[in-house]
Amino acid sequence: MPDGSSQVKRGRKFDQVLKGARDVFMADGFEGASVDDIAKAAQVSKATLYSYFPDKKLLFMEVARHECNRQAEMAMDGIAPDTPIRDALTDMATQLLDFITSPFGQRMFRICVGESDRFPQLGREFYESGPKLVHDRLVAFISEGVTKGVLAVDDVPLAADQFAELCKADIFPRMVFSMASTFSKAEKDRVVIGAVDMFMARYAVRT
Amino acid sequence: MPDGSSQVKRGRKFDQVLKGARDVFMADGFEGASVDDIAKAAQVSKATLYSYFPDKKLLFMEVARHECNRQAEMAMDGIAPDTPIRDALTDMATQLLDFITSPFGQRMFRICVGESDRFPQLGREFYESGPKLVHDRLVAFISEGVTKGVLAVDDVPLAADQFAELCKADIFPRMVFSMASTFSKAEKDRVVIGAVDMFMARYAVRT
DNA sequence: TGAAAACTGAACTAAATAGTTTATAAAGGG
DNA sequence: CCCTTTATAAACTATTTAGTTCAGTTTTCA
């Protein structure tokens, strides 16, 4: 194994194929994307494409996995350890909401949900490499607050999930049901501040 | 207009078609359902089906509309006017969560989200006849609490959306990403109580 | 009862589209 | 420079599926 990252891949146009597939799948979803379109977008012949991926499903899974990892690596910039809770929460809420409303976030969510009959596994993998990370990060953060004595939380995992959920108030339903696809800073700020206020009201230790 | 409810329908097998279409669409989604399957399920010839609905899309929209209305009528049993806030909130949270996790709720959500490229309008209609009703009901309820002086809320619509969102903590992401599809009463109660506690901590007037 | 309306089944068209094959061309390393 | 690996274009198979057509049957109702 000269290269630790690949067992199946070989040949020079592999990345081209993956990129083309990503573009088309992201634009059209699994069913909506045709293999011919992907080959065209990748500027590669269908035969080449099929020499890398024995079928469309495998190609799709590979693209999804790849994209999730790529996204997970980004937007994981930590928060300085001595930031006040309010500010730290505000930062995290903003990051989360930005991701959720990003074109990629929206697209990936739709694909996971819509294709979940065909690919239940896809949803799970996305969860692991997205929402789960946020959850874990929040749990760690809240736990720290508890040990510091600035937060009083009984059920830390629940508190983390509540916070994540609060970040989606108003915005998420409108997004998901095609009422809107972009949101102004003001709209997001309202929700973020609301989420932080609510979280603090419930869990901050009174001083 | 001899019958106020219908402009397009005629003939005796109309309801059969609708019922068959509902079953198949709910089971397989829009793309997954074939017209032949629907005709078979409805015990009707394809020609009959097409005599009612000029194409598959229209049939689908009709089914979706119909189902949404049907569901909206149910589960709207009001809450006695002098119920304590905590109990009223608990009731509403339970109802909401039950709907979200119901087979129909899950199915409809998936279809709306997955098919939203083809049918952005479908999401909007579903929103109007589902989440919107919940929102309005919560707004009314919270407003009442404010005028009674038991709640202190600045941004009532936001508070309503926050509460609705809190009801989905933990459960919703797991459901949506195919980690689980049914939830025990204990799991739901944990979330419901958590939501009510949080809402009260933030908005209840201290006595 | 008789005619119009509704329905049937089955064959058909037309269009996508996943996946295969083949003969050919271009790289590229040794 | 040649030989192996990789890539290509295009034609082809096979399948699925939306939507149509039509000759014949059943239902309805006046």
CATH number at residue B169: 1.10.357.10
pLDDT over threshold 60, residue A4: no
Over range A120-149, report the average pLDDT.
92
Mean pLDDT over the full length of chain B: 91
Higher pLDDT, A173 or A128: A173
For residue B200, what is the nearest residue in chain A, using CA coordinates?
Answer: A202
Q: Range of B104's domain?
A: 62-203
pLDDT band at B76 (very low <50, low <70, confident <90, very high): low
Domain count, chain B: 1
DSSP A45: -
Q: Mark yes or no for CB contact B113/A113 under 8 Å.
A: yes
Domain membership of residue B187 (yes or no) is yes
CA–C1' A102–D5 (A):
42
User: Is the dihedral angle over the CA atoms A50, A54, A60, A66 positive or is it negative?
Assistant: negative
Q: Is A42 an interface residue toward B (CB < 8 Å)?
A: no
Between A32, A109, A169, which is nearest B161 by CB?
Answer: A169
**Euclidean distance between CA atoms B37 and B66, whole angstroms:** 20
User: Both ends of chain B: CA-CA distance in Å?
Assistant: 59
Domain membership of residue A9 (yes or no) is no
Chain B stretch 63-102, residues whose beta carbon is closer than 8 A to a beta carbon of chain A: none
**Euclidean distance between CA atoms A188 and A167, whole angstroms:** 9
Domain membership of residue A82 (yes or no) is yes
Give the bases of strand C that a protein CB approaches within 7 Å: 5-11, 16-23, 28
Q: Would you say the C-beta of B14 is within 7 Å of strand C? A: yes
Domain membership of residue A24 (yes or no) is no
Domain membership of residue A195 (yes or no) is yes
pLDDT band at B118 (very low <50, low <70, confident <90, very high): confident
